[in-house]
């Protein structure tokens, strides 16, 4: 669809109906993602209840400042994303481009902090199957915590990378070609739903990883 | 989406953003207060509150079409089945959960 020929696809009566369908489709996908990450968090819950001391001890080595900076970055990126959608709805193209750039930048910053954190984890010898060293008093079950940590944060990083790719696609393809207009910006809204969902996942990973065993 | 839809003003989202940052601060603070088993309950409760703000406000669940609620709720509905049926195993094991 291009800006000069704004017609719904053949199976839809109106653009509004087409946009609503796109949104509902993304919500169906997000429901499957809820189960995907839900199962992961359930596994964490079971392990934490099974090995409370070991998990508390192992979690003390998680780098709190990295997790805290990253939760701030992601929450802020959800704001910039929704401001981009508002700009699209109002037809403010420059603001739309600015907020999309800000969203992609914040996502890239998140990944940068994450890479730095992985480096710190490596130096701290907490990478299972690579250089894990059982610390005095931690118990071997503490390694389970770090397995969860790398699986969960790795899967989250993959999702965020896809999100950054989608934002850049919007920016460099759909917006540049004038396909996101006040009359039809459903593709951007769908990407926004995905982006905020990835943010939501981190909201739950943050206390599970960084706050366990601090007190 | 069609241009006929009304969106919330930026100020509403900025307030939501500030609320989520404030809640993050409370969550971090609660980790250092020596609250014991209450700490994870508070922290995951805060995470759920933040998620609710994101879903309702930023992901525009409160707007039309209302059918979105059914689609969004279905994920959590099936998640309850996943948690509930899995817990029937663990909750009936002897010596589980381990003493904290």
Range of the domain at B73: 10-90
Are A23 and B4 in contact (CB < 8 Å)? no
Q: How far does A123 lie from chain B, in Å, by closest CA?
A: 25
Tally A–B CB contacts below 8 A. 159
In this model, does residue A76 exceed pLDDT 80?
A: yes
Whether A143 and chain B come into contact, CB under 8 Å, resolves to: no
Q: Which residues contact A171 (CB under 8 A, 6 or more apart)?
A: A97, A100, A101, A104
Whether B2 and chain A come into contact, CB under 8 Å, resolves to: yes
Are B75 and A64 in contact (CB < 8 Å)? no
Cα(A65)–Cα(B8) distance, integer angstroms: 33
The residue in chain B having the minimum alpha-carbon distance to the alpha carbon of residue A18 is B1
Per the structure, the count of domains in chain B is 1
Per the structure, the count of domains in chain A is 1
The residue in chain B having the minimum alpha-carbon distance to the alpha carbon of residue A51 is B98
B79 — pLDDT class (breaks 50, 70, 90): very high
- A205 is a domain residue: yes
Portion of chain A with pLDDT greater than 90, in percent: 85
State pLDDT tens for residues A3-54.
456 888 999 999 999 999 999 999 999 999 999 999 999 999 999 999 988 8
Read off the pTM. 0.93
Cα(A132)–Cα(A186) distance, integer angstroms: 46
Whether A125 contacts A132, CB under 8 Å: yes
State pLDDT tens for residues A169-201.
999 999 999 999 999 999 999 999 999 999 999
- A156 is a domain residue: yes
- B2 is a domain residue: no
Give the pLDDT score at A166.
98
- B52 is a domain residue: yes
Range of the domain at A201: 15-211
Whether A139 contacts A57, CB under 8 Å: yes
State the CATH number of the domain containing residue A161. 1.20.120.80
In this model, does residue B2 exceed pLDDT 70?
A: no
- B76 is a domain residue: yes
Give the pLDDT score at B4.
46
Q: Span A103-111, mean pLDDT?
A: 98
Are B27 and A207 in contact (CB < 8 Å)? yes
3-state percent breakdown (helix, strand, coil) of chain A, nearest 5: 75, 0, 25
Whether B86 and chain A come into contact, CB under 8 Å, resolves to: yes
Whether A81 and chain B come into contact, CB under 8 Å, resolves to: yes
Q: Which residues contact A124 (CB under 8 A, 6 or more apart)?
A: A61
Cα(A130)–Cα(A159) distance, integer angstroms: 24
Portion of chain B with pLDDT greater than 70, in percent: 92
Give the pLDDT score at A183.
92
- B60 is a domain residue: yes
- B62 is a domain residue: yes
Q: Which of A23, A30, A195 is nearest to A102 (CA)?
A: A195
- A77 is a domain residue: yes
In this model, does residue A64 exceed pLDDT 80?
A: yes
Whether A51 and chain B come into contact, CB under 8 Å, resolves to: yes
Cα(B64)–Cα(A89) distance, integer angstroms: 15
Q: Span A130-156, mean pLDDT?
A: 90
- A2 is a domain residue: no
B1 — pLDDT class (breaks 50, 70, 90): low
Give the pLDDT score at B7.
77
Q: Span A104-123, mean pLDDT?
A: 98
- A91 is a domain residue: yes
State pLDDT tens for residues B31-71.
999 888 899 999 999 999 999 999 999 999 887 778 889 99
- B67 is a domain residue: yes
CB-closest option in B1, B10, B14 to A189: B1
User: Which of 32-51 (B) contact A at CB < 8 A?
Assistant: 32-36, 39-40, 43-44, 46-47, 50-51
């Amino acid at each position: 669809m291009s800006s000069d020929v704004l017609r719904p696809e053949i199976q839809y009566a109106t653009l509004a109906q087409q946009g609503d369908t796109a949104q509902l489709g993304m919500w169906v996908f997000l429901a499957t993602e809820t189960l995907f990450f839900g199962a992961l968090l359930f596994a964490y819950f079971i392990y934490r209840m099974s090995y409370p001391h070991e998990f508390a001890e192992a979690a003390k080595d998680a780098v709190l400042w990295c997790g805290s900076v990253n939760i701030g970055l992601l929450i802020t990126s959800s704001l910039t994303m929704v401001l981009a959608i508002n700009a699209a709805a109002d037809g403010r193209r420059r603001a739309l481009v600015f907020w999309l750039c800000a969203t992609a930048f914040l996502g890239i910053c998140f990944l940068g902090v994450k890479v730095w954190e992985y480096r710190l984890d490596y130096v701290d010898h907490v990478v299972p199957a690579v250089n894990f060293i059982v610390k005095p008093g931690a118990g071997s079950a503490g390694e389970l915590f770090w397995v969860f940590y790398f699986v969960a944060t790795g899967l989250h990083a993959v999702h965020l990378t896809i999100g950054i790719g989608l934002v850049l696609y919007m920016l460099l393809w759909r917006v540049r070609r004038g396909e996101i207009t006040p009359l039809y910006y459903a593709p951007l809204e769908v990407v926004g739903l995905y982006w905020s969902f990835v943010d939501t996942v981190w909201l739950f990973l943050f206390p599970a990883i960084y706050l366990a065993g601090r007190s | 989406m069609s241009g006929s839809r009304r969106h919330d003003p930026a100020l509403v989202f900025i307030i939501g953003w500030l609320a989520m940052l404030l809640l993050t601060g409370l969550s971090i603070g609660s980790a250092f207060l020596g609250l014991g088993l209450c700490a994870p309950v508070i922290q995951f409760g805060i995470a759920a509150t933040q998620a609710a703000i994101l879903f309702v406000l930023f992901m525009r669940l409160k707007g039309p079409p209302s059918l979105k609620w059914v689609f969004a709720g279905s994920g959590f509905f099936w998640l309850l089945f996943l948690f509930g049926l899995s817990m029937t195993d663990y909750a009936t094991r002897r010596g589980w959960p381990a003493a904290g």
